[in-house]
Amino acid sequence: MPDQYAVIGNPIGHTKSPLIHGMFAESCGQDIHYAAIEGQLGKFAQQVDSFRSSGGRGLNITAPFKLDAFAYATHRSEAATLAGAVNCLKFEGSDILAENFDGVGLSRDITHNLGVSMQGRRVLVLGAGGAARGALLPILRQQPSRLLIVNRDVAKAEALVQAVGHLGQVEAAGYDVLSGLHFDVVINATSASLTGGLPPVPASVFAQADLAYELAYGKGLTPFLQLASQAGVRRLADGVGMLAEQAAEAFLWWRGIRPDTRAVIDKLTVPLT
């Protein structure tokens, strides 16, 4: 009988996780069954208990259950603790192990797949929500010369700096400080692109940039990427590579083998035009 894995979220109909992990399993010769679970608000623990009792080995977690998964876990990694949220669980007897692979997925996509170094570079992160929080630790490990987090609510960005400041040089500010500043890598970790919006970032920040990275995926040329393109940024990317890489990290954690992500990225990529 195949080992059982799944993703849980609400809504869940849009998820690509069964496709991704199915491709990983086939390419790695792993006998698994991967399902999508429509989570019920307020019943996360009961549903996961049921999944575990039926033989479930691991879960990917998507919105809105990442905080529920954090509370449900018995052991949390440094990345999960720092993010305050969990996107992956592994079950070993009575132990519930928790991870957050979003940040490492982003970092690997930028440095490995896109070939853009962040070491000694100027990195700008737009937004201070959960997506930004999960990304900070892997970015700091790349040792950028400057890491600036900007957010409409400056206090929220400052709280992130307090949480990770001991790990490296990181600053917090509002969008008003960006005039006249230039960066090598600009990452949009806001939710603006999900509704066709644009964070209040001046085009000038892209003038010397090697990469503009949109965490949202499958949206094509978002307003953020369009602004970056018009400003002359050298390369555009959305979050499809991050999606594939964080899934590969979960697969490695569960199965002990890391799948190649190229086929998944090629299959899911939407042209940025």
Given the structure tokens 């040089």, which residue do they identify? 169
Q: What is the pLDDT of residues 65-101, one digit of tens each?
A: 999 999 999 999 988 998 888 999 999 999 999 999 9
The residue type found at 194 is L
Identical topology for domains 3-100+241-268 and 103-238: yes
pTM equals 0.93
Q: What is the pLDDT of residues 187-240, one digit of tens each?
A: 999 988 888 899 999 999 999 999 999 999 988 999 999 999 999 999 999 999
Q: What is the pLDDT of residues 13-41, one digit of tens each?
A: 989 999 999 999 999 999 999 999 999 99
Contact 264, 24 (CB under 8 A): yes
Q: What percent of the chain has pLDDT over 70?
A: 100
What is the residue extent of each domain of the chain?
3-100+241-268, 103-238
Beta-carbon count within 10 A of 265 CB: 18
Beta-carbon count within 10 A of 45 CB: 12
Of the residues 16, 43, 66, 267, only one is catalytic, namely 66
Show the 3-state SS of 70-96. Answer: HHHCCEECHHHHHHCCCCEEEEECCEE
Provide the CATH topology of domain 3-100+241-268. Answer: Rossmann fold (3.40.50)
16 part of the active site: no
Q: In 94-141, which ranges are E strands? A: 95-99, 122-126
Q: What is the model's pLDDT at position 165? A: 74
Q: What is the model's pLDDT at position 107? A: 95
Q: Is 10 left (phi over 0), alpha (psi -120 to 50) or beta?
A: beta
Q: pLDDT class for 129, splitting at 50, 70, 90?
A: confident
Provide the CATH topology of domain 103-238. Answer: Rossmann fold (3.40.50)
Mean pLDDT of 157-165: 87
